[in-house]
Amino acid sequence: MSRHALWWLVAVPLLPLALPLALHTRRTALRLPVAQGEPSGIAAAHLPGEPLRLLLIGESTVAGVGVAHFDQSLASCLAAAMAERLGRPVRWRACGENGITAPQAQERLLPRLLAESADLALLVFGVNDTTHLTASKRWLQSLAGMADALGERGCRVAFSAVPPLQHFSALPWLLRQLMGWRASLLDRELRGLAQRLDAPHCALDLPFEAHYLAEDGYHPSALGYRRWAEGLAERVTPLRQYPL
């Protein structure tokens, strides 16, 4: 029996309990807006050298939900951390959408980005694919399709790990357990895909404590995004010396 089949075997009998909890959570959860400002910028513009071009594609965390302005977002923080490590400027762009899944992003977000050039693209997905019950095969096909399309244009691709939903305090206990388990299954497959593509799989280095989370208990705070970005920078910067 596959791991996903086992998850469904456990989850289906719990639906009479889990479904009302999910509907109640959806109705009552605090909904934060996306970040304000331009979803692009340049970090460490004073440094010498041609800027490294960084692209983030993903869900609400790429759209900056949890902070007021894109200057505090994951993309901006990652650009700053990478610039410090590389000793050169990093030009960043964030292309994210609240609530989007990987298949939807492949259809809606990717086409508008392929005309642009980037040195590194970080794909940040998993929460919505977990909660929307995206089929695992479709999940992998969408991520692989985006990675292949970007790679054909000379862009190195990295994947951010699927967040551990069992630590999301906004969810009731039962949903945390079920969704956390499913998130781990998707992340296991993501690690396999990254290995096959020789791409980094970047663990989520974020303590799920109150001051690292936004007030909704679901998204990172400004401090959380900065901590997450620092961990990502450690994983994507040393892997290959990016050309000047």
**Domain assignment present for 24:** no
Structure tokens belonging to residue 130:
């977990």
pTM score: 0.94
β-bridge mates for residue 92, sequence order: 41, 54
User: Does 241 fall in a domain?
Assistant: no
- Tell me whether residue 242 is in a domain: no
pLDDT tens for the chain, 244 residues: list them.
689 899 999 999 998 999 898 888 888 888 999 999 999 999 999 999 999 999 999 999 999 999 999 999 999 999 999 999 999 999 999 999 999 999 999 999 999 898 889 999 999 999 999 999 999 999 999 999 999 999 999 999 999 999 999 999 889 999 999 999 999 999 999 999 999 999 999 999 888 888 999 999 899 999 999 999 999 999 998 645 555 5
Tokens encoding 3 = 């791991």
Residue 69 is given by DSSP the state B
Residue whose entry in the numeric block shows the structure tokens 């690292």: 212
Question: pLDDT value at position 26?
Answer: 86
CB 177 within 8 A of CB 10: no
Helix (H) or strand (E) holding 156: strand 156-160
The confidence score (pLDDT) of residue 243 equals 57
Report yes or no on 77 lying in a domain: yes
What pLDDT does residue 238 have?
Answer: 61
Report the CATH number that the domain containing residue 192 is assigned in CATH.
Answer: 3.40.50.1110
* Other residues' Cβ atoms within 10 Å of the Cβ of residue 178: 24
CB 14 within 8 A of CB 178: yes
Which structural domain, as residue segments, surrounds residue 221? Answer: 48-236
Task: Flag whether 10 is in a domain.
Answer: no
Alpha-carbon distance of 164 to 187, in angstroms, equals 9
User: How many independent structural domains does the chain possess?
Assistant: 1
Within-domain flag for 72: yes
Cα separation, 175 vs 131, in Å, equals 9
54: which strand partners?
A: 92, 120
Residue 139 φ/ψ, nearest 5 degrees: -55, -50
Looking at residue 177, what is its pLDDT? 96
Contact 168, 218 (CB under 8 A): yes
Residue 131 inside a domain? The answer is yes
| Beta-carbon contacts of residue 115 (< 8 Å; ≥ 6 apart) | none
For residues 167 and 16, is the Cβ–Cβ distance under 8 A? no
Residue 13 lies in a domain: no
Structure tokens of 189? 């497959």
